[in-house]
Copies of this chain bind each other. A is one copy, B any other.
């Protein structure tokens, strides 16, 4: 059933704190369109890493829902983001997913834009036409230790302020010196919010992720607590702070300006998220040793990272349609590591490849059940606390006071 926008407040009011959201949030096209307009277009999206566009003119596209962004390094070396929509009659300006450009020429009528987005010329537009008014619409950009975050809206959450608090915690990992080893997309026939919710809780880890559960204590708060002190000792020795930072949900400085940092222990014998527990790549940043831990990091509300001592895995849940989402996983190692000698992509990607395949399956079954007229949102477990925070954020983005 199509929920019309005017029903949104009624639906929001029907949501009971501590319970899942009502069905329509995951089934309605109008709601999906609003999710793009109100959530995705007004929040910070992690689109990639500076190492992907090292030289002036290097660019790549990032697409979600009906939107497309051009991320480019300009002649002055600054990273910029533009809406990939011609100001004339709306064509996509850039149609290659990545490349090197001197200017961006619209394939339709050859309106030509500088790397900065300025319109160089509108061919045959007559004497009254002022190119200065018709540059590509800009998106805002934050560079955080090499990570590129973009927000298409003017009214972006004040994430930069929150990142100041996070910066010293992530500094030892040397994010700015990473490179991308592999990126995989796992399309799932489900609403993007179900994919985010799945990432936000480890209540499902024990029953659903056999491989992950073997090495990661997050599935069991009790076991995690038991192994934490020993890991923290090793963390300190390795040069990692043990601070936990939770400026998310009710503790965020503003909705969408959430940041989160927590390092937790792997089971004994596991130095990183590898099949056997042995290291897979050189130590990140300034780390002195493996501490047998893994760090959960959030940058804003849409971007999630898992940082091991020797590699990083980034997660995004990109909406394509009401019930079509791309789970995008990016694996990174330090940029001076050499494939074959220092790491192999197959080994590095094994754990989160099999885990993402599990997730695709369980999220798909979740959506199928939620589609039922008989679905009634049930109570969340204590281990699902972060989903509550996500709902609170979501409701605030939709104007619920």
Listed in ascending order, the chain A residues whose CB lies under 8 Å from chain B are 1-2, 5, 20, 23, 29-30, 33-34, 36-37, 41, 66-68, 83-93, 95, 105, 107-110, 122-126, 129, 134, 137, 152, 197, 203-204, 206-208, 361-362, 365-366, 368-383
Q: How far is the CA of A95 from the CA of B125 in the complex (A)?
A: 50
Whether the Cβ atoms of A379 and B2 lie closer than 8 Å is no
Q: A84-B369, A90-B370 are in contact. Are A203 and B29 (CB under 8 A)?
A: no
Whether the Cβ atoms of B107 and A362 lie closer than 8 Å is yes
- Chain B residues contacting A378 (CB-CB under 8 Å) are 86-90, 134
Q: How far is the CA of A377 from the CA of B85 in the complex (A)?
A: 10
Q: A87-B376, A368-B92, A373-B67 are in contact. Are A107 and B361 (CB under 8 A)?
A: yes
- Chain B residues contacting A95 (CB-CB under 8 Å) are 365
What residue of chain B has the Cβ atom nearest to residue A20's Cβ? B89
A-B contact pairs, 28 of them (CB 8 A): A1-B5, A1-B30, A1-B33, A1-B37, A2-B29, A2-B30, A66-B371, A83-B372, A83-B374, A84-B372, A85-B375, A86-B378, A87-B378, A90-B375, A90-B378, A91-B366, A91-B368, A92-B365, A93-B369, A95-B365, A107-B207, A108-B204, A108-B207, A110-B207, A124-B382, A125-B379, A125-B381, A125-B382
Q: A67-B374, A129-B379 are in contact. Are A369 and B91 (CB under 8 A)?
A: yes
- Chain B residues contacting A129 (CB-CB under 8 Å) are 379
Whether the Cβ atoms of A67 and B372 lie closer than 8 Å is yes
Q: How far is the CA of A365 from the CA of B377 in the complex (A)?
A: 41
Q: How far is the CA of A208 from the CA of B375 in the complex (A)?
A: 42
Q: How far is the CA of A27 from the CA of B304 in the complex (A)?
A: 32
In the A-B complex, the 9 residue pairs with the smallest Cβ-Cβ separation, listed nearest first, are A110-B207, A66-B371, A90-B370, A1-B33, A90-B369, A88-B378, A92-B365, A92-B369, A91-B366
Partner of A374, one of B109, B122, B152: B152
Copies in the complex: 3
Q: How far is the CA of A129 from the CA of B384 in the complex (A)?
A: 15
Whether the Cβ atoms of A107 and B365 lie closer than 8 Å is yes
Partner of A90, one of B20, B88, B107, B379: B20
Whether the Cβ atoms of A124 and B383 lie closer than 8 Å is yes
What residue of chain B has the Cβ atom nearest to residue A33's Cβ? B1
Partner of A109, one of B66, B92, B372, B381: B381
What residue of chain B has the Cβ atom nearest to residue A221's Cβ? B124
Shortest distance between the CB of A121 and any CB in chain B (Å): 12
Shortest distance between the CB of A219 and any CB in chain B (Å): 10
Q: How far is the CA of A376 from the CA of B134 in the complex (A)?
A: 11
- Chain B residues contacting A30 (CB-CB under 8 Å) are 1-2
Partner of A372, one of B2, B20, B66, B197: B66
Q: A369-B85, A373-B37 are in contact. Are A206 and B92 (CB under 8 A)?
A: no
- Chain B residues contacting A122 (CB-CB under 8 Å) are 381
- Chain B residues contacting A83 (CB-CB under 8 Å) are 372, 374
